Amino acid sequence: MAARTKFWEFSSRNREGHKAHPKTAICHEFVLTRWTRGETREAISDALGIDVDTVARHLRIARRRQDPRAAIRHPATRKAMEAMA
């Protein structure tokens, strides 16, 4: 029987020192990098193999931390807003 993984090992906050797990931090950076390139949430979630809501959560957390990469509106949304004006 395989050893069970402890639930906090891949949590956004691990048990040791309450720091983000390296896998979560890498995922967060990947989401922000892809977002600044102009990819959609769906494309990012497909590339990472995670849920679209998780991508949205990473972006929301980055905006809360005032990360400039997350403050950029998606290019498709920006073009639609410019067309309406």
The pLDDT value recorded for residue 59 is: 92
Average pLDDT, 10 consecutive residues per value, the chain (85 residues)? 56 60 82 88 91 91 88 67 65
Enclosing domain of residue 50: 20-84
Instruction: Establish if 14 belongs to a structural domain.
Output: no
For residue 57, tell me if it sits in a domain: yes
In a domain, 35, yes or no: yes
Instruction: Count structural domains, the chain.
Output: 1
Instruction: For residue 13, tell me if it sits in a domain.
Output: no
> How far is CA 66 from each of CA 5, 60, 71, rounded to the nearest angstrom?
33, 10, 7
Predicted pLDDT of residue 6: 58
